[in-house]
Homo-oligomer: A and B are copies of this chain.
């Protein structure tokens, strides 16, 4: 299947300086893919340079006169910037011209626009954001990461269904295991929402492991960890903060004086290999799940390598029909679990 991605070229901290080279690299590496570069045509063309003609019909530009800023309130992005590069990229998914949209812009705006334009899938009350976090052997996927601060048990079940299909589509695992993030392994642990979510998950037919704790994310106990968006967001950011601190401290120790600098020189290859293993660019690209279309959010500060990976993830999700798979799996849940979604439809 040929996959076409609509790329919001203006989003993120670096805009077309990063998004356009990443798109070109993506076209070179993935001959089955096409892109529609969305943004101010002159800006995009400037960064394309001579490469504009290299890919023929596989590369198109769609002019969008406006840009959603990182600081724009969601309402501004939604109502006052209907010709923003972000909005136009999502519109292209809605119209079927693109199979997926990728943006490094304002997360809140991207979620609101995607939800408004694409709508949620049958059985899904609320979209959620999922990403991969490195564990000792590979990656643990975690959701929700901030789209939903208050969740009912049924939402956590829906997150599990969406996340399982994401892991299955991106990692090609048959029956990914699911853990429910809690403060202890025992069934009696946690608040009421989590306890009831555990019951729904046990009856869901998913490969449910049970409760997991914070450290299980990095131990790779399960393929997918489900939590509400408040806990997920805090955990993700705390982990990023800790990782930064550790790398900064390691760097500081190694550059303290001439002797430690010499040690660093000796240890350089080892440190590089270490850094590579945990390079956040390698797993850049968070999925906005539960929508009638593929939308991937890149980290705002991603460079061309990171943004390229977000494009690859979006293409893989589209190629594996992620939204359709989520809808199909939702339809197979036990009736009791679907109450909330039915009421809210």
**Which A residues lie at the B interface, using CB under 8 A?**
134-136, 146, 149-150, 181, 183, 190-192, 194, 213-219, 227, 229-231, 233-246, 248-250, 253-254, 256, 259-260, 262-264, 266-267, 269-271, 273-274, 277-278
Nearest CB in chain B: distance from A301 CB, A: 13
Cβ of A240: which chain B residues have Cβ within 8 Å of it? 214-215
Contact B249 A246, beta carbon cutoff 8 Å: no
Q: Is the CB of A238 within 8 A of B217?
A: yes
- Indicate if the CB atoms of A241 and B270 lie closer than 8 Å: no
Known: A214-B233, A254-B267. 12 other contacts (CB 8 A): A136-B245, A136-B248, A150-B192, A183-B229, A183-B230, A213-B234, A215-B240, A217-B238, A217-B241, A238-B238, A239-B242, A267-B267
Across the interface, which residues of B come within 8 angstroms of A271, CB to CB?
Answer: 253
Report the minimum CB–CB distance from A112 to chain B (whole Å).
14
Contact (A149, B183) CB under 8 Å given A215-B241, A242-B243, A245-B219: yes
Chain B contacts of A264 at CB under 8 A?
A: 267, 270
A262 to B267, CA, bound (A): 9
Contact across chains for A245 and B231 when beta carbons are under 8 A apart: no
- Take A190-B149, A214-B235, A214-B237 as given contacts and tell me if A249 and B263 are in contact as well, using a CB distance cutoff of 8 Å: no
Q: Complex formed: what's the CA distance from A181 to B230 in Å?
A: 10
User: Smallest Cβ distance from A18 to chain B, in angstroms?
Assistant: 22
Number of copies: 2
> In the complex, what's the smallest C-beta–C-beta distance from A239 to chain B, in angstroms?
5
Main SS at interface, chain A: helix
Q: Which of A231, A249, A256, A274 has the most CB of B within 10 A?
A: A231
The contact of A230 among B191, B217, B242, B250, by CB within 8 Å, is B191
Q: How far is the CA of A135 from the CA of B244 in the complex (A)?
A: 11
In the assembled complex, the Cα of A248 lies from the Cα of B246 at a distance in Å of 13
Given contacts A150-B191, A215-B237, contact A263 B253 (CB under 8 A): no
The 28 sampled A-B contact pairs (Cβ below 8 Å) are A136-B249, A183-B234, A213-B234, A214-B236, A214-B239, A214-B240, A215-B241, A217-B241, A217-B242, A219-B245, A227-B234, A230-B231, A231-B231, A235-B238, A238-B238, A238-B239, A239-B242, A242-B242, A242-B243, A246-B278, A250-B274, A253-B274, A253-B277, A263-B270, A264-B267, A264-B270, A266-B266, A267-B270
Pick the contact of A218: B183, B191, B236, B242 (CB < 8 A).
B242
